[in-house]
Amino acid sequence: MGTSKLLHGAWVVTMDPDLHVYSDGAIYVEDDRIKALGPSSLILPSFSKQAHEILDLSGHWIIPGLINTHVHTSQQLARGIADDVDLLTWLHERIWPFESHMSVEDSYLSTLLCGIELIHSGVTCFAEAGGQHVEGMVSAVERLGIRACLARSTMDTGEGLPVSWDSETTDSCLKVQEELFSKFHGSAGGRIHVWFGLRQILNATDDLLLKTKELADKCGTGIHMHVAEIAFENKHVSETRNIEHGTVTYLSKIGLLDSNLLAAHSVWVNPNEVDLMAKASVKVSHCPASNLRMLGFAPIQEMLTAGVCVSIGTDGAPSNNRMSLVDEMYLASLIHKGKVAFTKGATDPSALPAECVLKMATTYGAKAVLQEKNIGSLEVGKKADLVVVNPNTWTMMPIHDPIASLVYCMRTENIDSVMCDGRWIMRSQKILTVDEAEVLNAASKASTELLKRANIHIPKRMNVCRSGCQQKNSI
């Protein structure tokens, strides 16, 4: 027998095509789907008798589950190992050694730790950029109760690769991913999708690019790839692949730009390439914090104006540190207001308004992960992926414009409860599916061991006094 829940008395921000907001709304959930939604005065009398759980959410808001379209769950154990270093040091001396020494168990713990942070920030679905051990991620996602599009990090060429990746051939990269697809796609009651991964064009032969596209099309799934991250990438592509501009132009030429390509970052794209992306219905994951830190300003407004579906991602912990989509929404809105002033010489505080940022984190995110029929908005027939926000704190009061408050005022701490697939996975800020303290403890130990194995040393910045050292100015 199934379960049913009736939530009522809340401000319900549906993000449906008409952007309906109910000031006293109710949602009736049966098993994993929304069965009814509307004003409490209509829904409550109709469904209160049959509901197993009735929850009065007066003073609270309900929004769709947020969708993080670019995250490296395997890098969560690497938070803090590569702060304030240049990109090559970041990649060659810290991240690649870290990732290549990971075990399946490390990946499992890293994904659990990352998932805890994602759920606390209201995320019900994420797209993994590509880690080494997809089976570890699968176990963690199953347990967390969240929704995910998982991909394996795939590289068949490139300089400076760790030994363990050096041995990978184009065929082995493809074969492993095909196996992962047939084993895990649709698992965890359909919450897990398996995608094909391409780390970046600098680490992919044309053979890998083309065969990945062929396989993803055959399987009816997506491709997750870092695209046009840095100026050097475009330069390298134009020199080695004999093309005028960079990655996007080249991917268009060989037929990779398509509606099932999720292009992460996409910072260094010119106006012509923005048009190419729009025409091909490519999806972009905009990662505000990590772009600011290492890559630059992506032409997000230009993309949105051209009709590109732009969603939001956190990227991994070593390039952002915070895995909160709430923070990313706030940053996205600010960066592009500032960018207008910088590039056009005139301020425009209306650039990337709150309602647009909310779409990027919900409905556009759903399109980016190829699941817009099921998630991204609160509508009858869709999956019950939703977030309860408690705005009654010093971070958000007073409230005059709730939609603006969700983007400009809301903090991660205002996320109260999270439901995914009709099941509560967090209530009153307590994750229900895993023991948070246990995960934190195990992840911390695993991270220390992993850094030792990978021989990664983080230089000391200041004169840190450890216990037992001589205290200089004792009283």
Residue 345 and residue 310: Cα distance in Å, rounded?
25
Give the contact letters, 259-298, x = binds to Zn ion (CB under 5 A), - = no.
Answer: ----------------------------------------
Q: Nearest distance from residue 262's CB to Zn ion, in Å?
A: 11
Where does this chain touch Zn ion (CB under 5 A) — which range of 107-115, 122-130, 332-340, 390-398? 122-130
Among residues 76 and 417, whose Cβ is nearest to Zn ion? 76
Which residues in 371-410 contact Zn ion (CB under 5 A)? none
Rounded to the nearest whole angstrom, what is the least distance from the CB of residue 290 to Zn ion in the complex? 7
- With a CB cutoff of 8 Å and minimum separation 6, the contacts of 27 are 6, 7, 8, 12, 34, 36, 37, 43, 62, 378, 384, 386
32 vs 315, beta carbon nearer Zn ion: 315
Instruction: Please give the full DSSP string across 407-470, using - where no structure is assigned.
Output: HHT--GGGEEEEEETTEEEEETTEESSS-HHHHHHHHHHHHHHHHHHTT--PPP-S----TTSP
> In this chain, which stretch among 124-132, 134-142, 345-353, 420-428 interacts with Zn ion, using CB under 5 A?
124-132
Subset of 31-50 contacting Zn ion (CB under 5 A): none
Nearer to Zn ion, 252 or 291 (CB): 291
The nearest distance, CB 319 to Zn ion, in angstroms, is: 7
Shortest distance in whole angstroms from residue 224 CB to Zn ion: 9
Which range touches Zn ion (CB under 5 A), out of 29-37, 121-129, 439-447, 462-470? 121-129
> Angle at the Cα of 71 (from 104 to 200), degrees rounded to 5?
90
3: left (phi over 0), alpha (psi -120 to 50) or beta: beta
Give the length of the chain: 475
Q: State which residue, 319 or 374, has the beta carbon closest to Zn ion.
A: 319
Nearer to Zn ion, 144 or 151 (CB): 151
| Span near Zn ion by CB under 5 A; candidates 59-67, 146-154, 309-317, 372-380 | 309-317
Secondary structure class of 25 (helix, strand, coil):
strand
Shortest spacing between CB 130 and Zn ion, in angstroms = 8
Alpha-carbon distance of 227 to 6, in angstroms, equals: 43
- Stretch near Zn ion under the rule CB under 5 A, chosen from 31-39, 274-282, 307-315, 392-400: 307-315
From 122, 462, 117, select the one nearest 317 (Cα to Cα): 117
Q: Which of 129, 269, 356, 396 binds Zn ion (CB under 5 A)?
A: 129
Distance in Å, CB of 285 to Zn ion, minimum: 9
Rounded Cα distance between 26 and 316, Å, is 36
Site for Zn ion in 312-331 (CB under 5 A): 315
Using the structure block, give the residue that is written with the tokens 């692949």.
Answer: 241
Helix (H) or strand (E) holding 5: strand 4-13
213-232 positions binding Zn ion, by CB under 5 A = none
Nearest distance from residue 419's CB to Zn ion, in Å? 28
What's the min distance (Å) between Cβ of 405 and Zn ion?
30
Between residues 47 and 165, which has the closer beta carbon with respect to Zn ion? 165
CB neighbours of residue 388 within 10 Å: 23
Return the axis-axis angle of helices 170-184 and 134-144, rounded to nearest 10°: 20
Which residue's beta carbon is nearest to the bound Zn ion? Answer: 129
Radius of gyration of the CA atoms of the chain, in A: 22
* Pairing status of strand 423-427 against strand 415-420: antiparallel
Give 388's strand partners.
62, 417
Residue nearer to Zn ion on the CB measure, 30 or 315: 315
Nearer to Zn ion by Cβ, of 76 and 414: the residue is: 76
- Report the residue number, 319 or 362, with the smaller CB distance to Zn ion: 319
In the complex, what is the shortest distance from the CB of residue 304 to Zn ion, in angstroms, rounded to a whole number?
21
- CA distances (Å), 71 to each of 67, 114, 187, 322, in order? 11, 9, 20, 11
Strand 61-64 with 386-389, pairing: antiparallel
The site that binds Zn ion (CB under 5 A) totals a number of residues, namely 2
The nearer residue to Zn ion, 10 or 269, going by C-beta atoms, is 269
Shortest distance in whole angstroms from residue 71 CB to Zn ion: 8
Nearer to Zn ion, 59 or 160 (CB): 160
CA distance 136 to 102: 10
* CB 153, min distance to Zn ion, A: 10
The CA distance from 303 to 396, in Å, is 31
Piece in contact with Zn ion (CB under 5 A), picked from 127-135, 228-236, 354-362, 412-420: 127-135
Q: Which residues bind Zn ion (CB under 5 A)?
A: 129, 315
